[in-house]
A and B are shown apart, each in its own frame.
Chain A
């Protein structure tokens, strides 16, 4: 024990970890009425870590070649010891990541945490959301199954509705006129190199901004701090009398992470094919489109929107407008009130938006 203490002491003298811990962890105060929803960010961080780790492991055996991709994935699933565990964790994890991300966004919206002065937090988070959707889409193609192939065909096709550059853009995305080996190559590069780095950088920015400005006070529960941000100069929003991040809130983070992991492993072990339609198990065949090709659940609403509008361009524009509105929400919604019950117009839009999204999703699923 003394040797460990001696090493600790030696490092302490040189690195001053205690001071860092004091400033960033034990001395970092959060609002006293902070709730469990705020821990979803930590859950997402853990999910991202799991995705990176399992992704690197999958790279050991996966072959990004249209001739061999499907069989290499089958080999991972059937021959490599625990290959099924690694692959299923990666595939299930990606779905869970989108789900938790949606919850994280909804809680931020509901509690008004996106409001000034946290516009940059919201913006970086919003970009992260889009990057996660993109990494899910590109990862979808890699197993080179019928599902992958046709889902990618449909998804890249919608880019063709953009006037003037549409056709060129579709071909650019596909690396050819049709989805083929060239598409696999570029999606693979984007999935394993470009997007993970971009996501990691943005996560860093997101956390940095959060740390600088401070965590927002939830609009309910005991009110011991008020939003005193003036907007004249930088000021960390302190929470006098709040709870320290470490150990108090870290325990809440750990609890939520454990709950998440329980749900995650329940799916991985007991219903791993929850997110897999049968076409995921048939090798890609460019000459045969399977019936009822549907995107992943998180793209169902978008898919249905495209079908509802008679004109593809119109459908894309509506979605683009909705996304732009969401991205710029903190700049549009300037009111200082953050309690949802005192913002009836917001609450109506919030609930209406969720119902609309779910309705489009269910409609898309059954249509």
Chain B
């Protein structure tokens, strides 16, 4: 004769086993589906200074997102994040106007990244960089 307590106990044991089984199945599954960690945290990006055309811009992958280095007409080098602070589009460097235009909602930024016009709430993030022997290293 089964007492209700034994039945409850076995029920809990069975539930525990089922839960353990579910975790054992879910863990590999979620790990499998999780986006790969790029492992590029803190990675630096280097390229020769000559990659940047006169008063032009060079876009590059930077820690899983996009960065840009521009050379202004005055010959000044600037490294910025190319992600628009409004809704995340990639800004374009306008050579003639010497400013950044975000094509999505017409946000405008100065070469230093400050907002001139449009919806962006914050300036473009500045990226640290050094120039050694004609090689630019961002990061």
Q: Which residues of A contact B (CB under 8 A)?
A: 57, 60, 79-83, 85-86
User: In angstroms, how far is the closest chain B Cβ from the Cβ of A61?
Assistant: 9
CB pair A79 B36 closer than 8 Å: yes
Q: 1/0 per residue B41-58: CB within 8 Å of A?
A: 000000000000000000
10 residue pairs from A and B, CB less than 8 Å apart:
A79-B36, A80-B36, A81-B28, A81-B34, A82-B28, A82-B29, A82-B31, A83-B32, A85-B32, A86-B28
A91 to B29 alpha-carbon distance, docked (Å): 17
**Chain A residues, Cβ within 8 Å of B132:** none
Give CA–CA (A83, B34) in the complex, Å.
11
B33 contacts across to A, CB distance below 8 A:
57, 60
> A86: which B residues are within 8 A, CB to CB?
28, 32
Apart from A79-B36, A82-B32, A85-B32, what are 17 other A-B pairs with CB-CB below 8 Å? A57-B29, A57-B32, A57-B33, A60-B32, A60-B33, A80-B32, A80-B36, A81-B28, A81-B31, A81-B32, A81-B34, A82-B28, A82-B29, A82-B31, A83-B32, A86-B28, A86-B32
Contact indicator per residue, chain B 4-45, by CB within 8 Å of chain A (1) or not (0): 000000000000000000000000110111101000000000
CB distance from A255 to the nearest CB of B (A): 14
B34 to chain A, nearest CB (A): 7
Q: Chain B: which residue is nearest A57 at the CB level?
A: B32
Complex CA gap A210/B31 in Å reads 40
CB distance from B35 to the nearest CB of A (A): 11
Q: How far is the CB of A81 from the nearest CB of chain B, in Å?
A: 4
Contacts of B31 in A (CB 8 A): 81-82
A81 partner residues in chain B, CB cutoff 8 A:
28, 31-32, 34
Q: Which 3 residue pairs across A and B have the least CB separation, nearest first?
A: A82-B28, A81-B31, A82-B32
Closest CB in chain B relative to A106 CB, distance in Å: 31
Partner of B28, one of A60, A79, A85: A85
- Which residues of the other chain, B, contact A82 by a CB distance below 8 angstroms? 28-29, 31-32
